Structure 1
């Protein structure tokens, strides 16, 4: 009990430090701004670091409680077990409601401390001060959640000395990705707090030009990258664990992660127009605020218990807190935009729809419509249940039918936008720049037909994928020919690498969704079954029990194509009495052969029923994600000939020297091949 009280006491102490430091830090900034006291403003970073230290202490104590099986804590009684392997025992912290809020809190406090460190020499700047204040308020909010409705250190009921907890959900302890997917996804979710905080600070201070965008560019870019990687890892986990052979099911919690990704992607594209031309200021602020608000809404959907999902958990009062936070964010943000409306007018306008500005605006409209479609399909069943007290389901056909045309138009824009100049494009210019990309599209279409692809939707996707890839490769070739290896560096050129990754993912999804074949096969040890140009033979049906006698694994050992043995299995977690399937996959560049074991087999049987899926191009999903990550890193570094954008409305944040004032039509943030 001494160790138990130590874990709980120090954990709560860490949360108290996080809460107190956040509140005092926010009050210090408000008082410093009110009194114009630079000394107070310079003290603010210290409170950010104290809050981060407190959150880290709380997490360390939670991990210590899990490792030592501290069953005096209710949360450890729920997710802890002496039979859980070490890695999954670490991941057990975020396997249920209270621990996931704790993970969010430490991530948020870490970002707050990082912002304080990054701007420590400019902490007396009001813009930085207000941004830190916003982050302090959000950090304090999650600290309150961890103290109240999501108390991870709440005392549990007394248990017997030989009590052994059930461990985390079986689906969260049978694949290593559970150790990485949630933290990386949270880095994306929480990371968008930084640009959101600077956006609110710009609205409060009236510095509404392009200066704050430059300060948050990399924060937004890396947050978007983490969110992208987290979503892809979630798809990989679904593919490897759930046994249905898919990567995306339009599950409400999957949609909750997609929503901020869509608005965040629109923002990352749209902000280029504001930096270059001083346009779309209200649009960019709205996108950024929407992205952050949707991360809170997604947390509400996941942690409130209002939806049933393999990803969702929690049915306590935390839902009302999160929904209230979402409403406050929306109301305050809209009020600030309305207050500053007259100062948000753009000095320029789009000269022609056939320009890079026009393409970015069309791109934004598509992403926004897509986000609305996903949001409507996700919350509609909740609205029906609340208003009519009946349950309804919005299934995959709704999302597939509406998302397919949007995806096709997006691929077309990815092909056109990179070759468009700013302001206006002539017909001769377009025909010259689109010549080789168009031929790449034709080549991709011919190749697709040659290998047997059919159906208008996948063929259009393949052709446009080749078209868009040709446009991206053209830009990269031009840049590398002029600058050597530095042609890969910079937002525009790195962005083209990201586009290549996205195109690979789009083509792989089109292929796997359109041309997956499946069959249910009954195998026996005396024969060979042929199906889909493959042969399957049952070698044996075996059972294994782990050393702790907590897991029983029934395997059907299948000889695939007379070569390697693959072993789809049914794993029974004896402490919980739950059985889950474990697929076995042969991965290849062209296709995967995906095997699952159907219920009914017993150890020593000479027959077994398996389900077989042949999935084209699945590996290219993960390759595309890797290329996106590389492209993001390249885009994070400034290209050559980059100049800072400033104007009379937004004085530079940098200390020293008067602001540089340029005509807003001359704002430049470009890479060398932007206008060729």
Structure 2
């Protein structure tokens, strides 16, 4: 199977190289009107077919690696290093992306898959898709070259001779951190986002090269960006939940360099998805949008570099290797191509209009973009500061969470403010009367929340000292109330108009309103999801924790809960040994009830510590009880060797569940935004004569656009 996989990768590289060279030559002939023995159109089509065939070849290579893992082929060094016989079947898939070579193969396979879809849909715009497909082929050549020459996944064990050299009885096993259900889907989701930004990049660069007329390319690019942004969002939130449930420290985001590497392209892509509306609606920010796409793609390459070059220390990073040099060269080439093409074609990117007023939707989008890019720069600086400091001072100076929190939290709160302001401002300029009418209710909601929070005990001062975290939480709650009020008002205003026109109930009117403009109202749902998640983030300011030894029938008190140790024990299977405690949970003296398959039962929590046999590495399995107000988070820290008693740590994390619920709303909103709006013919409404006046007053809620 190793021979088959290696041959498939060589074939994939040859096909991608032909796609690149033949596609480039064909497009050059078409652009200059040159002649060749074969027509340029025919040559371009053979290049497209080679690109499709390269996907088949990479798929064969991916299948060969997975097959080798499932059949325990320990003659392949990668399989020996990242799998073992007792590894559960689901985690054998995870072995593909657990190491350097396998994760690069996943990158190449997903990239070929995106290219496959693009090349099959080429008839949407043959020339633009030919440019995009050729650029994608260039990216494929880079990653397939890595797999063939720098990080081959099918390398045999050193000195291994088939039939002569004995093979190890078992492998070293999968990293315990990856042996968790979410890790079967988190890395592929993250990679679907990372890799997917290659497609918007290819369209943007191709459209600029061919001086594409009109704005059709930006609409195509927006859809691809929205899809990949959604995948990356899912990847980030799944990674947060994994860190929360597995690492045992009670948090979900530690500003780890690799976490930052996924967050930076997300910020840049979010900026593009907002500013693209200005180009579609007003013909503005054309150069800005092109560079946002270029920057987003380059940040994905930077993120991939961070995990592979050993530049930073991270629980997510692969071992240090010389492969980083390849990425430096590739990143430099991308930057040079983007700069050269932009300078050559910049006269094609002149804006049709200028911002007419600082109080307008255009201005809110511009401020939104600037703040998002500022956040991206701050995170980039913090991530690379240890590298820069080592270069200047010969020793690394690491920047921790306090730096990021000090700058990122105010930036995030300002973005939350802009999220509420944007929908309330009209295009071009806003009158004082319109501002007063649109903002009065959100402002009331803001101050109402401040009063409620203060009464509930959320106060920025304690024992005469100012509490920065509580202050930020208070601002977050107040802004969240204002933003949610503003967005809900937009929904209700439009639904009210439809209800008067059709006689439908409010819910049916909301559905019809959303279907008539899925992009706009799907975007509002995404904003609602982000606001809900931010409410969850604000709960961090009120965390509490207790740690103590717990013998038999010992008790621990935290918040409204009492935990009693009913015992501790050990267990083992073919994959790992484990130690765990059994804890009974009561609240205010009464048993806590939870719903199970057998009905409501008393809550018992079993935090666990595992040691995996193949790797002899430990792993924490956290016990979590979630309710809307908070999470009860319990960690088994191990045995005190002096007393023989387990050490238990309990953390009360307020509002964490809101983060995961917010993520679900974001995904729903993204799906809604990607669904085409119903056409005017299918959305036709029978408007009674008596409703004409009311309909005219609410027309802005029904118009297309954002």
Contiguous gaps of at least 5 residues in structure 1? 1-6, 644-669
Q: Do the aligned partners of 1:45 and 1:120 also contact (CA within 8 Å) in 2? A: no
1:313 to 315, 318, 324: 318
Q: Do the aligned partners of 1:17 and 1:50 also contact (CA within 8 Å) in 2? A: no
- Whole-Å Cα distance in 2 between the matches of residues 310 and 619 of structure 1? 24
The alignment status of 1:556 with 2:577, answered yes or no, reads no
- Whole-Å Cα distance in 2 between the matches of residues 194 and 527 of structure 1? 58
Alpha-carbon deviation of 1:673? 4.8
- Whole-Å Cα distance in 2 between the matches of residues 49 and 596 of structure 1? 49
Distance 1:394 1:162, change over 3 A: closer
- Whole-Å Cα distance in 1 between the matches of residues 348 and 603 of structure 2? 67
SS at match of 1:315: coil
The alignment status of 1:50 with 2:89, answered yes or no, reads no
- Whole-Å Cα distance in 1 between the matches of residues 88 and 705 of structure 2? 56
CA deviation vs aligned residue, 1:220-246 (integer Å, no higher than 9, x gap): 101111111100000000000000011
Aligned to 1:146: 147
Q: Do the aligned partners of 1:541 and 1:606 also contact (CA within 8 Å) in 2? A: no
Q: TM-score, normalised by structure 2?
A: 0.87
Alpha-carbon deviation of 1:389? 2.2
SS at match of 2:398: coil
- Whole-Å Cα distance in 2 between the matches of residues 188 and 244 of structure 1? 27
SS at match of 1:524: coil
- Whole-Å Cα distance in 1 between the matches of residues 640 and 223 of structure 2? 53
- Whole-Å Cα distance in 1 between the matches of residues 70 and 22 of structure 2? 38
RMSD: 2.0
- Whole-Å Cα distance in 1 between the matches of residues 680 and 326 of structure 2? 44
- Whole-Å Cα distance in 2 between the matches of residues 552 and 241 of structure 1? 17
Q: Map 1:102-121 onto structure 2 (within 5 A).
A: 102-120=105-123
- Whole-Å Cα distance in 2 between the matches of residues 319 and 307 of structure 1? 12
SS at match of 1:340: helix
SS at match of 1:219: helix
RCO comparison, higher one (Cα < 8 Å, 6+): 1
Aligned to 1:532: 559
- Whole-Å Cα distance in 2 between the matches of residues 481 and 328 of structure 1? 54
Aligned to 2:599: none
Distance 1:622 1:407, change over 3 A: same
- Judge which range, 9-18 or 61-70, deviates more: 9-18
Q: Map 1:99-498 onto structure 2 (within 5 A).
A: 99-120=102-123, 122-123=125-126, 125=127, 127-157=128-158, 158=160, 160-173=166-179, 175-207=180-212, 209-455=214-460, 456-483=471-498, 484=509, 485-489=511-515, 490-498=518-526
SS at match of 2:581: strand
Alpha-carbon deviation of 1:40? 2.0
The alignment status of 1:24 with 2:18, answered yes or no, reads yes
Alpha-carbon deviation of 1:675? 8.3
SS at match of 2:550: strand
Aligned to 1:660: none
The alignment status of 1:35 with 2:65, answered yes or no, reads no
Alpha-carbon deviation of 1:328? 1.2
CA deviation vs aligned residue, 1:153-191 (integer Å, no higher than 9, x gap): 111133644521111211111x10110000001111111
Q: Do the aligned partners of 2:563 and 2:584 also contact (CA within 8 Å) in 1? A: yes
- Whole-Å Cα distance in 2 between the matches of residues 343 and 247 of structure 1? 45
- Judge which range, 354-363 or 325-334, deviates more: 325-334
- Judge which range, 550-559 or 478-487, deviates more: 478-487
- Whole-Å Cα distance in 2 between the matches of residues 130 and 283 of structure 1? 21
Q: Do the aligned partners of 1:524 and 1:537 also contact (CA within 8 Å) in 2? A: no
Q: Do the aligned partners of 1:571 and 1:579 also contact (CA within 8 Å) in 2? A: yes
Alpha-carbon deviation of 1:499? 0.2
Q: Do the aligned partners of 2:223 and 2:674 also contact (CA within 8 Å) in 1? A: yes
Q: Do the aligned partners of 2:362 and 2:427 also contact (CA within 8 Å) in 1? A: yes
SS at match of 1:595: strand
Q: Do the aligned partners of 1:538 and 1:608 also contact (CA within 8 Å) in 2? A: no
Q: Do the aligned partners of 1:569 and 1:581 also contact (CA within 8 Å) in 2? A: yes
Q: Do the aligned partners of 2:520 and 2:705 also contact (CA within 8 Å) in 1? A: no
Aligned to 1:620: 658
Aligned residues: 637
- Judge which range, 367-376 or 331-340, deviates more: 331-340
SS at match of 2:646: strand
Aligned to 2:502: none
SS at match of 1:347: coil
Alpha-carbon deviation of 1:475? 1.7
Distance 1:478 1:674, change over 3 A: farther
Q: Do the aligned partners of 1:186 and 1:227 also contact (CA within 8 Å) in 2? A: yes
- Judge which range, 580-589 or 610-619, deviates more: 580-589
Q: Map 1:562-641 onto structure 2 (within 5 A).
A: 562=591, 563-601=602-640, 607-639=645-677
- Whole-Å Cα distance in 1 between the matches of residues 47 and 490 of structure 2? 44
- Judge which range, 464-473 or 246-255, deviates more: 464-473
CA deviation vs aligned residue, 1:483-508 (integer Å, no higher than 9, x gap): 53132242111100000000011111
- Whole-Å Cα distance in 2 between the matches of residues 304 and 606 of structure 1? 43
Contiguous gaps of at least 5 residues in structure 2? 31-39, 461-470, 499-508, 592-601, 682-699
CA deviation vs aligned residue, 1:129-169 (integer Å, no higher than 9, x gap): 11111001101111111111111011113364452111121
Distance 1:621 1:104, change over 3 A: same
Q: TM-score, normalised by structure 1?
A: 0.91
Aligned to 2:696: none
